[in-house]
Amino acid sequence: MNKVTSTTLITPQIIAFEEPFTLQNGSVLPRFELIIETYGELNADKSNAVLICHALSGTHHVAGRHRPDDKHAGWWDNMVGSGKPIDTDKFFVIGLNNLGGCAGSTGPLSQNPKTGKDYGADFPLVTVKDWVRSQAKLADYFGIKTWAAVVGGSLGGMQALQWSIDFPERVRHALVIASSPRLSTQNIAFNDVARQAILTDPDFHEGHYTRFGTKPRRGLRIARMMGHITYLAEQGLGDKFGRKMREDAYKYNYDIEFEVESYLRYQGDKFADRFDANTYLLMTKALDYFDPVAEYGGSLQAALAHTTTHFFVASFSSDWRFSPKRSQELVKALIGAGKNVQYIEVESQHGHDAFLMEDKPYLDGVRAYMNNIKVSK
């Protein structure tokens, strides 16, 4: 068996789906590709497959490294690997970049077969439901009839939840972490500010910026800086930076004075370099649109009535973007619908980002749940 560690070299694969794919909004993609990574081995009856769904800015690169000199391992390397909470010695784990993404799956940066140029703003808006259907095609490709588990944090958790509603027979366990059954008004509001920052950037060119050899860096940077604050808890941010200054005295200008400013600008710059603006826009819309409650006449319990999936739900005390209250709504609806659910609320100072962090009680909670999932040898 190949052990997967933080230094294991992983090679992504691209899976092509050559049939037309109709999206929720009616648009048709003539074909699409998903870039994925896999960890561990699929067992004979294919009962040990786990799908990892990413959040707004995530990718298929969940664990291990691409090159020996990579500075960082995959984004959930503390969660996925040999002997880790999602143990690749037991499970066959797939990470993918979602449709519409900018890490290698078909998205705004891909070539539009109709024009021969990249899609840009012409790439259709995709929804969580679309992602789940595209992920079902991925399962088909591997001959996986039923996932042992679909796992995700934040927007990833929404996908896990949608799986349990749209394809309950194809997912035995859904792990819905730091997520919400629908966005709050405040969340929608923050998303709209982020989008407006990008849409009004003069370098946006109505989404066709690549044709102009440019990129709405300013807007993307502002969106990320703002977003980043909301992913962290006030207390955690305060503990880390306080009012620490770069120099002893105030400079009385708009350069960096406080360390937190330096940190945030760095985060914004880094993100603006690596991420595509159209993907950012469509990811935030997917968040806004996600609403199984509305689809089932305003009742989350009704949305979940037919599911046979078992649930693990986790929230973090200082997460104010997807607060424990939102997870509790989901848990209550699941209990009300008579479903099988485990819930942990983790004490944490890390806000929404806690779901990505090294935190023993949290990781142990996931580990215990995953250990109890039965798979054939």
Q: 184 catalytic, yes or no?
A: no
Q: 154 catalytic, yes or no?
A: yes
Burial of 67 per CB tally in 10 Å (0-12, 13-18, 19+): exposed
CB of 14 to a second copy, least distance (A): 27
Round to whole Å and give the CA distance between 69 and 346.
34
Residue closer to a second copy (CB basis): 310 or 326: 326
Tell me if 326 sits within 8 A of 157, measured CB to CB.
Answer: no
CB of 207 to a second copy, least distance (A): 9
Q: 319 catalytic, yes or no?
A: yes
Residue 177, strand partner residues: 153, 314
Residue 17, strand partner residues: 32
Which of these is catalytic: 154, 164, 179, 318?
154
Which of these is catalytic: 77, 118, 319, 359?
319
Cα distances from 98 to residues 6, 56, 356, in angstroms, run 23, 10, 18
Positions that interact with a second copy (CB under 8 A): 25, 124-125, 182-186, 188-190, 192-193, 195-197, 199-202, 218, 221-222, 225-226, 229, 232, 234, 237-238, 240-243, 250, 252-254, 257-258, 260-261, 264-265, 268, 281, 285, 288-289, 291, 294, 320
Residue closer to a second copy (CB basis): 120 or 365: 120
Round to whole Å and give the CA distance between 375 and 46.
9
Q: SS3 for 351?
A: helix
- Nearest residue to 12 via CA among 42, 34, 45, 43: 34
Please work out, in degrees rounded to the nearest 5, the angle formed at the alpha carbon of residue 217 by the alpha carbons of 235 and 255: 55
Quote the longest CA-to-CA distance of the chain. 67
CB of 239 to a second copy, least distance (A): 9
CB of 261 to a second copy, least distance (A): 4
Residue closer to a second copy (CB basis): 142 or 241: 241
Q: How many helices (H) and strands (E) does the chain have?
A: 11, 12
Catalytic residues, which ones?
A: 154, 319, 352
